[in-house]
Amino acid sequence: MPQKPAQIGWIPYLNLLPLRYEIARLSGGLHNLVCGHPRSVNRWLTEGVVQVAPASSIALFKSTELEMAFPIGIACEGPVQSVYLGLSRHHEDFYDVVCERQTILRERFREALTVFPDDVRQVSQAVWSRTRQERVNAPAPHLELTPNSAASTALTKVLISLWLGEDAATRLFAKATVSAPVANGELISRNLGSQPMELVIGDEALQRRHEFWKILDLGQVWFELTQLPFVFALWQTSSPEHAAGLKYLVTEAASIAQARMRVEPHDYFPEIGPVAGDGKKIDLAAYWNVIQYKLSQRHLRSLLLYYSLFQQTSGRESDEVTSERFVRWNKTWIGVDSVARA
C-alpha cells in the first residue's frame, strides 16, 4: 500500500538544508514540510498540526504528549557556531568570571561523572548541590533572549545558574527581555538601556557573529563542562504510527546527508550563497562539518544530563513519571535497562 503523505514540521535553517535535500530526493517530494521557527514547530507537534518533526530537544522533556521518533537530531561536539551568547566590550568582567567558573565547574562534572558513571541524574544533583548556593561576584549584564528557541533558552538558564548560582540567575532571568520580530523579519530589542548580552540562534547567529566582542558558543561551553555533545533538536512525534512509517526514510536521509556534507558539501550549496552582515560569505562547508544528524549513546547520555540539570536548576521535583520516561527513552535508544549508560 502506498505511503500516505505526512505533515512534517520543519525548521528552515541552514543546519538542516542537507537533510531536507535528501528527504525530498528519497521520497520524491511526497511529504509536506510545514516550516516555522523551533518554538512554532514545538507547538504544532503538541497540537497535532504536524505528526513528526526535528523539534527543540527540551520540548520532549516539557511535554508528556511527545515521544522520541528515532535517534536523529541536530547536535554538535564542540562549537556549533549558530547558538551563542553575544557579548560586547562592556561585558568583559562577566566574561572573565565565566572563564574562571568554567574551570571550576569542569572539575566538578569530571568528579561527579567518575563517581556516578551510570546515572546522570545523580551527576546533576551532585554538581548542583555544590553550586546552587554559591555567590559569585560578577556584574551580571542585562540578558536578551530569542523568542524562537526553547532548547537554547533552557540551556542558557542552566549555564547561567551554574556560573552565577541560583539567586543571581533567578534575578537575571526575572529582568531578561525578549527580542521582538518586526514586519520586515528583522529583530528589534525591547531593552532601551545598556547593550544587552544576547542569546542568538540559527541563521541570524551566523550572520551576526561579527557584531560581538566575544561570543560564548553554547555547544562549546557544554562540551567543555561535560565532554559530551549537545543535542539541540531531536526528531519527535505525537503520532507513533506516522513516525514508524517515516523511520527508514529519515534515518537513511540523515546517514547520506551527514556523510556527503562533509566530503561533498558543494552538492548542497544554495544557488545564492548566504552572506553575513559584514559582507563576508558564510562558510557552509565548515558549518556543516560540525553538525551531527545521527545520534549515539553519548548523545542520549548528554540529553538526559541536560534534562536533569534543567530539572534541578528550575526547581522541579523528580517524580515517577520522569523516571519512567528516562528508562523508556534509554530502552528505545540502546535497548538496555540502565539509564544513560555510556
Do 102 and 220 lie in one domain? The reply is yes
> Based on the structure, what is the number of domains in the chain?
2
Do 66 and 89 lie in one domain? The reply is no
Q: Which of 226, 245, 262 is the last residue of a domain?
A: 226
Grid cell 512534517 — which residue? 8
Do 71 and 203 lie in one domain? The reply is no
Which pLDDT score is estimated for 186?
46
Which pLDDT score is estimated for 334?
56
Do 92 and 218 lie in one domain? The reply is yes
> Is residue 68, in this structure, part of any structural domain at all?
yes
Q: Which of 177, 194, 226 is the last residue of a domain?
A: 226
Do 118 and 211 lie in one domain? The reply is yes
> Is residue 327, in this structure, part of any structural domain at all?
no
Do 210 and 188 lie in one domain? The reply is yes
Which pLDDT score is estimated for 191?
42
Do 61 and 89 lie in one domain? The reply is no
Which pLDDT score is estimated for 183?
36
Domain of residue 54, CATH code: 3.40.190.10
Which pLDDT score is estimated for 3?
59
**DSSP per-residue string spanning 23-72:** HHHHHTT-SEEEE--HHHHHHHHHHTSSSEEEEEHHHHHH-TT-EEEEEE
- Tell me the residue range of the domain where 244 lies: 7-75+230-295
Round to whole Å and give the CA distance between 176 and 280.
Answer: 31
Q: How would you class 74 by CB atoms within 10 Å of its CB: exposed for 0-12, middle for 13-18, buried for 19 or more?
A: buried
Which pLDDT score is estimated for 332?
65
> Is residue 63, in this structure, part of any structural domain at all?
yes
Do 90 and 181 lie in one domain? The reply is yes
Which pLDDT score is estimated for 2?
45
Written as nine digits, the cell of 192 is 532601551
Do 168 and 272 lie in one domain? The reply is no
**Rg (Cα) of the chain, in Å, rounded?**
20
Which pLDDT score is estimated for 244?
87
For the whole model, what pTM was predicted?
A: 0.90
Written as nine digits, the cell of 122 is 545523580
Taking alpha carbons only, the member of 310, 305, 288, 314 closest to residue 76 is 288
> Is residue 322, in this structure, part of any structural domain at all?
no
Question: What's the first-to-final CA gap in the chain, in angstroms?
Answer: 40
Do 106 and 190 lie in one domain? The reply is yes
Per-residue pLDDT of the chain (342 residues), as tens digits, is 345 778 899 999 999 999 999 999 999 988 889 999 888 999 999 998 999 999 999 999 988 889 999 899 999 999 999 999 999 999 999 999 999 999 999 999 999 999 999 889 999 999 999 999 888 888 889 999 988 888 899 999 999 999 999 999 999 999 999 986 533 344 444 443 468 999 999 999 999 999 999 999 999 999 999 999 999 999 999 888 878 889 999 999 999 999 999 999 999 999 999 999 999 999 999 999 999 999 998 999 999 999 999 999 988 776 677 778 887 777 766 543 333 333
Round to whole Å and give the CA distance between 219 and 40.
Answer: 22
> Is residue 337, in this structure, part of any structural domain at all?
no
